A and B are shown apart, each in its own frame.
Chain A
Amino acid sequence: MTRALGWLAALALVIGLGAAFGYAPREAVQGNVQRIMYLHVPAVLTAYLAFALVFAGSLGYLFTRRLGWDRLAVAAAEPGVLFTGLTIVSGSIWGKPTWGTWWTWDARLTSTAVLFLVYVGYLLLRGMVDEPDRRARYAAVVGILGAANIPIVHFSVKWWRALHQPSTILGPEPSPIAAPIALTLLVNWIAFTLLFLYFLARRAEIARLEESHAG
């Protein structure tokens, strides 16, 4: 089952890669560097899915006290951090030729970076507690607060940017989006979601094995 999912994800990624480089046209304004978007946008969408699952797993654990929910939370958090990291790095690489700098305190870049730090903290906390039950409780509390915080972080950073630098910088997507570009984004988004689900399944299985070994 998991193995089939893995092959499906690999296939989708190959198709996505082919579409990103072969099918999608060279973007008129930004040139070929815009192709980084086919990595950047699916990565950030997948990361949000991951953190939504961390939230669901955290709530589920506190309500039911079943460790299965906690396994869902950790199995989503790890790839979530990975995909957030990819989002930041690919955004930064895209920013260098486009904005002329590796890093600007752009609203989206900044709030993604904050998200990254929050969930790295979540994983660090998990690493510091050994008993599965206690680890699950603490992590769930941090996971819930982290998720509740996402909209607050989003608005605070957005307003903060609007205050200090009126919109001189354009957002990452060119608008309006042409059909081939939208289709390529969609394919890559599906591919990333499949890959994430594959990681999720494997990581949850590892957590289950660890628990059965420990007790």
Chain B
Amino acid sequence: MPDNWGYVFAAYGLAVIALGAYWRRLARRAKSLAGPGGSE
């Protein structure tokens, strides 16, 4: 069977993008909530 690296990188690339996007969303929401007078 051929190696199909393209598929492997596509899968991992998409995972990195999705997880990164969720992480950034969480960070933004936390920041906007902690914004005025936030402690962190």
A161 at the interface (CB under 8 A from B): no
Report how many A-B pairs have Cβ atoms within 8 Å.
Answer: 71
Give chain A's interface residue range (CB within 8 Å of chain B). 20 to 34
User: In whole angstroms, how far apart are the Cα atoms of A90 and B30 in the complex?
Assistant: 29
Main secondary structure of the interface of A (DSSP, over half): helix
Interface residues of A (CB under 8 A from B): 17, 26, 29-33, 35-36, 39-40, 43, 78-79, 82, 85-86, 89-90, 93-94, 96-97, 195, 199, 202-203, 205-206, 209-210, 213
12 pairs, A vs B, C-beta closer than 8 Å: A30-B1, A31-B1, A31-B4, A39-B11, A40-B11, A43-B15, A86-B14, A86-B18, A86-B19, A89-B14, A199-B26, A213-B33
Interface residues of B (CB under 8 A from A): 1-5, 7-8, 10-12, 14-15, 18-19, 22-23, 26-27, 29-30, 33-34
